[in-house]
């Protein structure tokens, strides 16, 4: 039998909520009623984290567990789910009777908001990362939140997908602990032995009265080499790179009193 769009959406919400539970040490949920062979329409949501409570004018204190029910009515997802807060909570946008104000979502619900995203909004409210003191459901809590100096908001620093955040932080820590080798162009890495260039042998040329012979492999455009000087202070030195390559070019560079013959 083909499922209706609403039933498919309910199944999608169930999978999204199960995925959120796997990524969170904060959220847990159960199904309080029968499912009649289909996806749940009522959830009991639990947040295990720091929120605030106040009993009959007493001091505001930390509460570490919070519960509410979410009922997905017949008009869901076109209409907003029915929310009812069950545990004590002191928050400007949650009434003492358990009604929850979601701001603009209360009057203009967005059907594309999935159940896991709704739970994330609710956790942001619990930990006082999201609250509105201008349009409160609990005026006493709104006035207190404006003037209090007892707590730093948010009262719980963890995002709802705290396991994902912890894994990411651990991966970054491991990556930071690994040795990093910085290699600069032209320089060996610190854990590598520097590569020595091949030795260059400087050999004195044999003195003759005849011109220095030009290598037969010299390219045609290469100029003829001048004869060696007979001056006693002059000398010709051949730079040999100790390789077996054929010499295809030669050039004499005059450096003060010494002629240097480069063979290429």
Neighbours of 93 (CB within 10 A): 21
Per the structure, the complete domain to which residue 229 belongs is given by: 199-206+213-264
CA distances from 113 to 62, 83, 117 (A): 30, 15, 6
Tell me which residue of 208, 211, 197 sits closest to 242, measured CA to CA: 197
CA atoms within 13 A on the CB side of 182: 1
How does the average pLDDT of the chain come out, rounded? 79
Rounded Cα–Cα distance for residues 14 and 8 (Å): 10
Position 181 pLDDT exceeds 50: no
Residue 249: pLDDT band with limits 50, 70, 90: low
Residues 139, 229 within the same domain: no
**Considering the chain, what percentage of its residues have pLDDT values greater than 90?**
57
Domain count, the chain: 2
**Residue in the block written with tokens 């069950």:** 86
3-class secondary structure, 135: coil
CA atoms within 13 A on the CB side of 210: 3
pLDDT tens track for 123-135: 999 999 999 999 9
pLDDT tens track for 59-101: 999 999 999 999 999 999 999 999 999 999 999 999 999 999 9
Residues 233, 119 within the same domain: no
In a domain, 43, yes or no: yes
Rounded Cα–Cα distance for residues 191 and 173 (Å): 23
In a domain, 131, yes or no: yes
For the whole prediction, is pTM greater than 0.85?
Answer: no
In a domain, 173, yes or no: no
């Amino acid at each position: 039998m083909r499922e209706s769009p609403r039933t498919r959406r309910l199944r999608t919400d169930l999978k999204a909520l199960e995925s959120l539970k796997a990524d969170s040490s904060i959220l847990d949920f159960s199904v309080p009623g029968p499912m009649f062979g289909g996806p749940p329409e009522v959830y009991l949501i639990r947040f295990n984290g720091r929120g605030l409570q106040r009993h009959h004018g007493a001091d505001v204190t930390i509460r570490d567990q919070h519960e509410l029910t979410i009922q997905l009515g017949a008009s869901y997802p076109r209409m907003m789910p029915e929310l009812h807060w069950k545990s004590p909570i002191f928050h400007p946008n949650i009434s003492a009777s358990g009604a929850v104000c979601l701001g603009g979502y209360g009057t203009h619900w967005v059907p594309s908001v999935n159940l896991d995203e709704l739970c994330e909004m609710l956790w942001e409210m619990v930990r006082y990362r999201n609250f509105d003191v201008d349009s409160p459901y609990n005026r006493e809590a709104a006035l207190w939140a404006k003037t209090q100096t007892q707590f730093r908001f948010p009262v719980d620093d963890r995002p709802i997908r705290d396991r994902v955040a912890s894994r990411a932080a651990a991966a970054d820590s491991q990556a930071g602990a690994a040795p990093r080798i910085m290699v600069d162009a032209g320089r060996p890495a610190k854990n590598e032995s520097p590569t020595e260039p091949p030795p260059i042998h400087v050999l004195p040329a044999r003195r003759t009265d005849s011109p220095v012979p030009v290598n037969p492999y010299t390219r045609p455009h290469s100029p003829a080499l001048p004869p060696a000087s007979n001056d006693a202070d002059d000398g010709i030195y051949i730079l040999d790179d100790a390789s077996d390559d054929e010499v295809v070019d030669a050039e004499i560079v005059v450096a003060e009193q010494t002629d240097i013959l480069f063979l290429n």
